[in-house]
Structure 1
Amino acid sequence: MPEQPTSTDDYKAGEIAKDMVVTNINNRQYTFMGVELGLCNGNSLEYKERKVKVRFKQTGTGQQSDEFEITQTRYYTEMLGNCTYYQFGRKDPMLPLFYDDEAYNLDKDQYGPLQYKFTFVDESVTGTGKVAINLGIQHPYHFHYVRSAYDDWCSTPYHNLWNATQTTAGATDKVVKTIYDPSPVGYCVPPANAFTGVTHNGNGVSEAPAYSYGKINSPYKQYYNEFTNNAGWIFYCSKMNGLLNWDNSGGTIFYGCHGYRYAGSGHGGHGGLNGNYWSANPNNAKTSYYLHFTQTQVAPKYTQECRAYGYSVRPVRETP
């Protein structure tokens, strides 16, 4: 909550995630919410720490004996949870995906009247899928997919849906919250520049681990294994001071691989494989900036896909 103190602790699975102060590449600080909007934690398994005493005793006389203690450390594992998705500029959440060991792309169960059932629709009169903003507001349970699979869901490409002062496309340092922002009171969708501290220079990294090590602002040493085991990236909150020069004083923050809902159909995909987090800033009439990552790629200001995709949102605290 905005009024609560922030943390400088390292991320630990299974513990309550607190708001973290993150420094971007230009030394500007943002207080990120501890979790994604709509997050539901996955199932967990825990074995608490145990101590066992072992005693050796000489057979026969029993005169000689020795005793020592073995400590079995705590073991905890947690499956990837799920969170709601948002099409760029829309306030209403889209249904999450459910993940388990067998299938990654299952829609969560829905409850309530059938007329409000989460649905993939093309309500446009042009056949493109693009609709007026009022239809998006009137049908919050509709995912408005686009026929071209690379476009805005909205027929008018507004720049200021999530940033009231944005009149032209481009990344910014600050956001002024709008009525379309899905974040709770005191928070807003982050500006694109808030994510730039995840690499050593604020630019994207997309190389094999042998070449990218030291460029990503993470405590990971074995990218493939740690990324897979955690189903996401753990990043340092303090910015790097150059290649192979990390600062762990600010603690760490976790971003999960929640995948997305595809712009061309509304169906989900890539849960456990990649993560995508919207910023409030448009890049052009069809695309907007977002944090994107996989096992081998971390891109703080990605613009590859369009506004009609359903991505996760990780809000920051509003600033004066």
Structure 2
Amino acid sequence: MKVFRKLLLVGAVGALFAACSKDLETADPTGPVEPGNGEIVSNTLGLAVSGMKSPVTELGSMETRSVIDEAVTLSFPEEPEVTRATGDTSATDAEKAVKNLWILQFGDEGKLVYKTMRKDVTASSLDVPLIGCDNSTVYAVANVGETKFDSAEVDKYALTTFEALSFDTTTEVDTTNGLPMIGSWTGQTKDPSASDKPKIELKRMVAKISFTCKKEVPMGHSFSLKSVQLCSVSPTTSYKAPVAGTIAPVSTANFFDYAKQSSAVLDKAYSWYVPENLRGTVSEITLPTDKGESKAPAHSTFIEVIGSYNDGSNPATDITFRIFPGANKTNDFNIARNYKYTITATVKGNNPTDLRVVVATDLCKNPFDESEEFANCYMVSKAGQTYKFDALHLANNATVAANAPKSVKVLWETNGAQKIIKSVELKNGWVYFTTAGESGDPITEGNAVIAVYDTTTPGNEQNVLWSWHIWSTQCNPAEDASWYQGNYKFMKYNLGADCTSAEGTVGRFGLYYQWGRKDPFIGVNPTAGISFGNQTSFAANTAPTYGGGTWTTAAVSSSVGTIDYAKKHPMTFITATASPYDWISGTRNDDLWGTGWSATGSTGGYNGNKGKKSCYDPCPPGYRVPPQDAWSNLSTTSGVFNWNSTTLGRKGTGTAQNFYPAAGYRNCNNGGGLCNVGSRGYCWSSSPYSSGGTFAGSLGFYSSGVYPQNSSYRAHGFSVRCVQNF
């Protein structure tokens, strides 16, 4: 078909500039014009830039709780509508700008038939031709870049491809070049005299959240604001607006946080442009105080407010609020495109019954009786949850140091940077940390170590005061079936294992410990598999970790082989290549894990001493390293502990259902390299094998044998299977 090139007047001044009465102006084309096959017909395409209104409504009939119960009250100040109108002082330049305007026309067959781009649209009309079609869809896209659709080929680029596009909000939202906008129109473009003339209303592909914090605390109380942060932001948004009522998938990954506004001040407005995040409504919420983290849908966007609160009777403590924007202050968690959410939060108190107050879960509790118990390992089971532990007290109530810790950092973690621990800080002698992920999602299985330092600049191992292992796991020892061996109740998994992994996979191995040391060492790389057989060294297959620490080895010596050195170097595996093959230099220390030696009750070579949990025990609250007689009834002939050649480990029958993987060990005589992975398994007991001797007691097994009273060099790195305190 012959192409007739005619220019189309794109006008409608009242549409492009709402509330503007300027005379019509004509702008010359300034961008590429690429028509496809078809007759170019003069039509009048109207453009409008939609107002950015507030969706927030007051639900007065639902707000029945007295203000005295609210730790924070929310109000939604009225603001002028953000439009493209001249003289609209409420809109920023970014909100008003229309730059790099792409016109994309899709024809009868759903393929691109025409495209053009205009820069810096400030005039009231544009001359843009359209191809005459019976059924045409025309999109206008602004502020996404002047080369965004250069590669879209006429007669090839499909409408379905365009409408499936997503916009990367982690890198592409550049407010200096205007906010991304989009609009569309569908109809016929053959007859320009028809009443249904092309008209497009541009809407911003993002929302605006503005937040101000105020205070009205009771007399004698005080509150000071420390930081404000917008959290759980969607990494993408679709070009095509979602269908009304759509709820974004809960499984969407990689939500991220905007930079924290530190040193925040009261009465100042903080603003963010964010992609829409449609999380839906929760009908069971009827009170503002219940619109908190525990009831919010996963991945809901929220504003985190951190401050210091003093009620006049106790020392000031940090308090955290999480405010969830939405169309109301009770049950709506939707952030919709082209809307503005203007929120003023007034701090009234520190009432923890208000679910918008984030209460850090105290980890220093025995899970079986809720009594206070300090440990070197803490188990966490909720994603996006804030936890705390006492950094001044250790297991058996020993103190960490004469001087209080000055700083804290994540020394290492698995899976990736901030994949286990999202953030950590030290406050009033307590370590506060937030797990990665979104509240309500399953927690990521993995491990991390957090260290505190005696200096305000953490990093130098010589300044480490103490360190703690954080086991991020869905395992719940109090509920999971556990194996009773005599009088002992074992955990179902090795310390540090991935409880979601199948038997016969690396995830079940857990971590490795030198006898008497509290800090774990990383194991086999999960991507390496475990069918290694009886190899000698797999140091190169250790799993990667992330954080500020570096894994090293050091040969035992009078300066290296000390408890103080081990404490300050939690990532250093201390090797020993000669008798007595201990990481401790000099005299053996039998009591590092609290059992010591006692000949009383010792039968068949077992140390009969039960001891007590020590300050170096690596197990979490409620658990300890088992004494030497814990596996006394295991054998290869009784049929209660059978080898499985497929899963490469042993598993009990009847009441002894726990699986023990052949995780091998880290060899102190071979640079800490991994040995016997997939062919043998070892678990430490808390007991020395003899008084002051070379060996410590352990469980050892392989395909043809079980050794419940095994003896092993103390500098080796073995698995640990904790037992409930007794």
TM-score (norm 1): 0.66
Query: Using a 3 Å threshold, how does the CA distance of structure 1 residues 266 and 296 change in structure 2: closer, same or farther?
Result: same
Within the candidate set 494, 514, 535, 1:36 is matched to 494
Determine helix, strand or coil for the equivalent of 2:646: helix
Q: Decide which moves more: 284-293 or 92-101.
A: 92-101
- Asked if 1:274 corresponds to 2:680, the answer is yes
How far apart, in 2, do the equivalents of 1:310 and 1:196 lie? Answer: 22
Please list the CA deviations of residues 23-49 of structure 1 after superposition, one character each: whole Å capped at 9, or x if unmatched: 33xxxx1110111111125865xxxxx
Deviations 1:43-100 (A, max 9, x none): 65xxxxxxxxxxxxxxxxxxxxxxxxxxxxxxxx752423111000000111112253
Q: 1:108 aligns with which of 543, 552, 555?
A: 543
Shift of 1:132: 1.6
Aligned residue in 1 for 2:565:
135
Q: How does 1:272-311 map to 2 (within 5 A)?
A: 272-284=678-690, 285-303=693-711, 305-311=712-718
Asked if the contact 2:496/2:510 (under 8 Å) is kept, the reply is: yes
Alpha-carbon shift at residue 19 of structure 1 (Å): 4.5
Letter in 2 for 1:109: P
Label 1:301 to 1:112 Cα distance change in 2 as closer, same or farther (>3 A).
same
What's the Cα RMSD here? 2.8
Range with greater deviation from structure 2 (306-315 or 284-293): 284-293
Residues 80 and 97 (structure 1 numbering): CA distance in 2 closer, same or farther, change over 3 Å?
closer
Q: CA–CA distance in 2 between the matches of 1:102 and 1:162? A: 30
Say if 2:663 is the partner of 1:258.
yes
Specify the code of the residue in structure 1 equivalent to 2:523: P
User: Where does structure 1 differ by over 6 angstroms across 4 or more consecutive aligned residues?
Assistant: none
1:90 and 2:517 correspond: yes
Contact persistence 2:688–2:696 (CA under 8 A): yes
For 1:189 and 1:20, how far apart are their aligned partners in 2?
A: 15
Structure 1 135/251 Cα, relative in aligned 2: closer, same or farther at 3 Å?
Answer: closer
The CA deviation at 1:173 is 5.6
- Structure 2 residue aligned with 1:174: 610
Aligned to 1:229, what secondary structure does the other structure show? Answer: coil
In structure 2, how many angstroms separate the alpha carbons of the residues matched to 1:42 and 1:185? 22
Aligned-pair CA distance for 1:136: 0.9
Matches within 5 A, 1:154-169: 154-155=584-585, 156-163=587-594, 166=597
- Seen in structure 2, the aligned counterparts of structure 1 residues 314 and 19 have a Cα distance that, compared at 3 Å, is farther
Contact 1:216 1:298 in 2 (8 A): no
Equivalences for residues 180-259 of structure 1 within 5 A: 180-199=616-635, 214-218=637-641, 220=642, 223=643, 227-236=644-653, 248=654, 250-259=655-664
Conservation of the 8 A alpha-carbon contact between 1:42 and 1:78: no
Return the match for 1:23 from 471, 485, 493: 485
Q: For 1:291 and 1:102, how far apart are their aligned partners in 2?
A: 20
| Structure-2 separation of matches of 1:164 and 1:217 | 27
SS in 2 for 1:20: coil
Which AA in structure 2 matches 1:111? Y
CA distance, structure 2, for counterparts of residue 306 and residue 109 of structure 1: 26
> Could you tell me whether the CA contact under 8 Å between 1:175 and 1:190 is conserved in 2?
no
Measured in 2, the distance between the counterparts of 1:102 and 1:193 equals 29
Alignment counterpart, residue 3 of structure 1, candidates 358, 368, 378: 368
In the alignment, what sits opposite 1:120? 553
Partner of 1:9: none
Structure 1 pair 136–289 and aligned structure 2 pair: CA distance change class (3 A): same
Q: Check 1:19–1:233 CA distance in 2 against 1; reply closer, same or farther (3 A cut).
A: same
**What CA distance in whole angstroms lies between the structure 2 residues aligned with 1:165 and 1:260?**
23
- Larger RCO (CA within 8 A; separation ≥ 6): 1
Deviation at 1:175, TM superposition (A): 3.4
Identical aligned pairs, as a percentage? Answer: 27
| Aligned equivalents of 2:700, 2:531: Cα separation in 1 | 22
- Count of matched residue pairs: 236
Whole-Å separation in 2 of the counterparts to 1:272 and 1:278:
18
CA distance in structure 2 between the partners assigned to 1:290 and 1:310 by the alignment: 11
Distance 1:228 1:154, change over 3 A: same
Report the Cα distance in structure 1 between the residues aligned to 2:546 and 2:506, rounded to whole angstroms.
22
Quick one: which amino acid aligns to residue 695 of structure 2? T
SS at match of 2:517: coil
The residue that corresponds to 1:59 in the other structure is none
Aligned partners of 2:493 and 2:658 also within 8 Å? no
Give the superposition deviation at 1:131: 0.7
1: CA distance between counterparts of 2:649 and 2:656? 17
Q: Give the drift of 1:195.
A: 0.7
1:21 CA drift (Å): 4.1
Cα separation, partners in 2 of 1:41 and 1:19, compared to 1, 3 Å: closer
Asked if residue 317 in structure 1 is aligned to residue 724 in structure 2, the reply is yes
Corresponding residue SS for 1:134: helix
Paired AA for residue 117 in structure 1: T
Q: CA deviation at 1:164?
A: 5.2
Kindly indicate whether the alpha-carbon contact (under 8 Å) linking 2:554 and 2:574 is maintained by their aligned counterparts in 1. Answer: yes
Matched letter for residue 650 of structure 2: W
Unaligned runs of 5+ in 1: 5-14, 45-76, 200-204, 206-213, 237-247
- Per-residue deviation at 1:269? 1.5
Amino acid of the residue matched to residue 143 of structure 1?
Answer: F
Q: Structure 2: where are the runs of 5+ without partners?
A: 1-365, 370-473, 533-537
With 80-89 and 189-198 compared, the bigger mean Cα shift is at: 80-89
- Conserved? CA contact 2:504–2:648, under 8 Å: no
The alignment partner of 1:136 has SS state of helix
Return the offset for 1:102.
7.4
User: Which amino acid letter does the alignment assign opposite residue 568 of structure 2?
Assistant: Q
> Partners in 1 of 2:611 and 2:704 — Cα distance?
30
Kept after mapping to 2: 8 A contact 1:85/1:310: yes
> Are the structure 2 counterparts of residues 101 and 89 from structure 1 closer, same or farther at C-alpha, using a change threshold of 3 Å?
closer
Alignment partners' CA distance in 1, 2:584 and 2:595:
17
Alignment CA distance shift 1:289-1:102 (3 Å): closer
Shift of 1:122: 1.7
Summarize the Cα distance change of 1:148–1:122 in structure 2 as closer, same or farther, 3 Å threshold.
same
